[in-house]
Structure 1
Amino acid sequence: MTQADNRPETEWVALMAALAQGDRQALQRLMQRFGPGVTRFSAAMLRRPEEAEDVVQEVFLRVWQKASRYDPARAAVSTWIYRIAANHCTDRNRRLGVRHFLGLDAAPDPVDDHPPAEYDLAMRQRLGLTRAALHHLPDRQRRALLLRASGELSTREIAQIMGLSTGAVEQLLIRARARLRDQLKEIDP
């Protein structure tokens, strides 16, 4: 890795140090850089994608609160942030499962049958099929695939987030893509 390749990570580490000192602008810069990817990742991981914005707020609140605990020797900034996001998504899904089990979510949320006019019907249907297929993937395969696609993270970063080797992540990604392709062929030949 050249020094130019390392510059962005050095910048994010410096922002984390500034954030640990209470610099709100550092948080804003981190949110600008990582917020869109964390939002996409959260929407895809959650049982209720509409809760993604709430999760993103919780994630960056946690980043703000725990900035002094960040250790650049242990993980890249992106890895640390996405691990927080993955944990929040898992916790939120678990709470939703408990609420459903207890009957607290007996009435489903109303579904808007009128999709936005700016989207083409065929593309919305394909997206829906893809999301359904994603939710049928095993959790680890889905998480690895979403971190790659939504978070635009490297295999090494995904491995750190998931606590796996890079080889294991590569295998998860290969299996996830193959299984996703097979599921989509079955649904939409």
Structure 2
Amino acid sequence: MSSTVHPHPFARSTKQLEIIPNRIDVEDESRRYDDLVFDESPIEPRPKRPTSPVGAPPSVFSNDIWLGDNCGESSAFAREVKINGWTSVGDALGGAYVVYNCVLKTKEGTVIPVHKRYSEFAALEVQLLQVLPRTYHSFIPELPPKAPFARYRSTFLARRQVALEHWLSAILLHPDIGGCEPVRRWVMS
């Protein structure tokens, strides 16, 4: 039996360990987190999506598949999904939170404003995973992650807004998922 000597896992590390004092400065930790996770470059606008010859929006899953190409009837009621901003509600002492301003345009052209917290997006995801058949679970993208130290930072909120818009578009514009009962309740509540 041969004995293999394994080197220490940090033997080749060139980084220094930083000792954290007994008292943690929350503001300093928040700044460090932002420096680590977010680069401060401005967010570039998303490129304009191509449109089909008849002007239908492409699928959120592929630029080669057009929503108008489906041979069956779509149960989705929406034809356009935007999240045009967010609003901070409350203050730090009274329990502040962020509300995202969603604008949904129906097939008939009616605009529905919807204001939702991140937790309501997460609740919809849970409901969809409970109600939908397992074969549809792959059509539900991952929600953007939580970040406790950065949740009120404009850089973080701008990135989350883009990710939530993509997530909500994938749900509401899907021909089968977009008209299911949990989605209808979420929009109307």
TM bucket (normalised to shorter chain) is under 0.3
How does the TM-score come out when normalised to structure 1? 0.25
How does the TM-score come out when normalised to structure 2? 0.25
